[in-house]
Amino acid sequence: MSLAERVLDGEIRAAARLMRDIDDRFKSAVDELKILYPHTGKAYIIGITGPPGAGKSTLVDQVVAAYRKKDLLVGVVAIDPTSPFSGGAILGDRIRMNRHADDPGVFIRSLATRGALGGLSRSTMDVLNVMDAMGLDVIVVETVGVGQDEVDIVSTAHTTVVVMVPGLGDDIQAIKAGILEIGDVFVVNKADRDGADRTARELTAMLEMKHPEAGDWMPHVIKTEAAKGLGIDELVDEFEAHHSYLKESGALQRLIQERNAKIFADTLREELFESVFSGIKESGKYQQILDGMRDRSTDPYSAVEEVMAARSFS
Amino acid sequence: MAERRIRVLVGKPGLDGHDRGAKIIARALRDAGFEVIYTGLHQTPEQIVSAAIQEDVDCVALSILSGAHNTLLPAVREIMKEKGASDIVLMAGGVIPEDDIPGLKAAGIAEVFTPGTSTETIVAWMRDNVTPHA
């Protein structure tokens, strides 16, 4: 039986192995994903992002517990950085989620960024598809701790949650571009700390500058103390409100459309590059181009034009 | 064909709260290019095995300083067997008397490192003895 069939049969080890094959970019994983694809599209995906140390993992742990109380099956994809020097990684998000380790209704997978820069790993979307096909109802994606511009989560999750903590900067930080534009829900965690109210107020003020059209979603700021479980019920209610909004307003269809377009474009870009690049490497053309660039007899722009002209796409 | 990256779970079963050693090992394995899933303190054998399966690790490395190694380590191995995961290499380190090591090895613990072992020795052992799942 193929891995994909075993995944559909509910076999945990098969799912875990397939995720590994995806992460390690095994060609065979693509065939398995083809089998799973028709079984995906059912899970509700929540993305949680924010700076390192904001309490994302602890928040994820609480959100998992809240959804388990509703008797839903929950998946977690937690991403931590790969060392640019050794290629190794310490994936430590599970530390905060250990109480769910032996709950058969929860599947947690840690992924390393492996050089990807957008806050996720290249494999994230495909790993989500495996969890989706496993029949998990809610999947929480925790991004690597991000700064300002790592916004890949938006095109991956249905509901994007930006977690902030008091004391990270003044309100000018809040009106810059980047992660503060992407939230459907904002959280001020560690709300017992000094300055929490001020941070919440500044975020709210920033959000109110947006002037949403009638019927648009208006993000709210929720204060939590994840370590004590405070504010979690309100937070999960807000997720549910956003999920209902997506379904009822038609925004969900648009989101799915955009995401499908992105997945297709990403896959095409990768495959095209792989095929063209390995082609010119094998033919020796690649070396010729590099030699030409070295003595300035060719330039990268003409070289690419020439390579492209030699291929036909329909 | 793409290449496997070795994944190792580092954790501490049982009740002792000293994780300095486990963190040093985690860091050394990271620097050796492995992906380390660090699960932290106070793990039950069941939690460790579930996490190892979900993370599809090749090796579980446990640190024990509590003296409960003769109970906890064989328990982890038993649960691995029950769950069809005995292909995962189980090794341990910590304050473990030499006299206990043969018994642990007979129970399926692949290797036991005692205080004073260098991180290089442990990394080298892993490279030689842990083959990533095909």
| Confidence at residue A247, expressed as pLDDT on a 0 to 100 scale | 95
Interface contact flag, A110 B43, Cβ < 8 Å: no
| Whether the predicted pLDDT of B2 surpasses 80 | no
Tokens 């891995």 correspond to what residue? A3
- Give B29's Cβ-side CA count (13 Å radius): 28
Burial grade of A229 (CB within 10 A; 0-12, 13-18, 19 or more): middle
Say yes or no: B119 contacts chain A, CB-CB below 8 A: no
| Confidence at residue A209, expressed as pLDDT on a 0 to 100 scale | 81
Phi, psi of A107 (to 5 degrees): -125, 120
Which residue in A26, A90, A98 is closest to B30 by CB distance?
A90
Average pLDDT in chain A:
91
Indicate the pLDDT class of residue A172, thresholds 50, 70 and 90. low
Give kind and range of the element (H or E) at residue A301. helix A300-309
Interface contact flag, B85 A13, Cβ < 8 Å: yes
| Confidence at residue B81, expressed as pLDDT on a 0 to 100 scale | 96
Give me the interface pTM, i.e. the ipTM: 0.91
Q: How far does the CA of residue A307 sit from the closest CA of chain B (Å)?
A: 25
Say yes or no: B46 contacts chain A, CB-CB below 8 A: yes
Which residue in B42, B48, B56 is closest to A20 by CB distance?
B56
Span B34-91, pLDDT tens digits:
999 999 888 999 999 999 999 999 999 999 998 899 999 999 999 999 999 999 999 9
| Whether the predicted pLDDT of A231 surpasses 50 | yes
Token reading at A74:
């929950």
CA distances for A168 relative to A81, A185, A196, angstroms: 21, 18, 11
| Whether the predicted pLDDT of A220 surpasses 80 | yes
- Give A186's Cβ-side CA count (13 Å radius): 27
Interface contact flag, A94 B51, Cβ < 8 Å: yes
| Confidence at residue A152, expressed as pLDDT on a 0 to 100 scale | 85
Say yes or no: B53 contacts chain A, CB-CB below 8 A: yes
Closest CA to A35 of A5, A74, A72: A5
Which residue in A26, A88, A107 is closest to B34 by CB distance?
A88
Q: How many CB atoms lie within 10 A of CB A227?
A: 15
**A40-249: CATH class:** alpha beta
| Whether the predicted pLDDT of B121 surpasses 50 | yes
Give domain status of residue B2, yes or no.
Answer: no
Token reading at B64:
């024990």
Give domain status of residue B119, yes or no.
Answer: yes
Q: What DSSP state is assigned to residue A83?
A: P
| Confidence at residue A228, expressed as pLDDT on a 0 to 100 scale | 95
Give the residue on A whose Cα is nearest the Cα of B46. Answer: A102
Q: What is the CATH number of the domain that holds B23?
A: 3.40.50.280
Q: How far apart are CA B17 and CA B63, in angstroms?
A: 11
Interface contact flag, A102 B53, Cβ < 8 Å: no
| Whether the predicted pLDDT of B26 surpasses 90 | yes
**What is the share, in percent, of chain A residues with pLDDT greater than 70?**
95
Give domain status of residue B97, yes or no.
Answer: yes
Q: How far does the CA of residue B84 sit from the closest CA of chain A (Å)?
A: 9
| Confidence at residue A248, expressed as pLDDT on a 0 to 100 scale | 94
Output the furthest CA–CA distance in chain B (Å, rounded). 45
Say yes or no: B30 contacts chain A, CB-CB below 8 A: yes
- Which comes out higher in pLDDT, residue A309 or B76? B76
Say yes or no: B36 contacts chain A, CB-CB below 8 A: yes
Give domain status of residue B86, yes or no.
Answer: yes
Which residue in B37, B42, B47 is closest to A91 by CB distance?
B37
Instruction: Please state the domain count of chain B.
Output: 1
Give the residue on B whose Cα is nearest the Cα of A82. Answer: B35
Indicate the pLDDT class of residue B1, thresholds 50, 70 and 90. very low
Residue B52, domain extent: 7-129
